[in-house]
Amino acid sequence: MQELIILVLFLVAAAYVARLLYRSFSTKGGSCAKGCGSACSTIDFKKIQKELEQKQLAK
């Protein structure tokens, strides 16, 4: 009986980890870790470059 309980707990934990891995590599929810679909984690290098240039010109 104890072995059955341990097996069930192990399978539930393995399914949870598999779900986390699937959701982290899935592109359905966007690139954000929250999966909300917003562009919160995208990096705009052109915007960063403009801000750096503006800071350098202000000095």
Q: Give domain limits for the chain.
A: 2-58
* Residue 33 contacts residue 41 (beta carbons within 8 Å): yes
Residue 6: band (very low, low, confident or very high) from pLDDT cuts 50, 70, 90? very high
> pTM higher than 0.75, yes or no?
no
**How many whole angstroms separate alpha carbon 49 and alpha carbon 16?**
41
Percent of the chain whose pLDDT exceeds 70 = 71
pLDDT of residue 28: 59
pLDDT of residue 10: 97
User: For the segment 15-32, what is each residue's pLDDT rounded down to a tens digit?
Assistant: 999 999 888 777 655 555
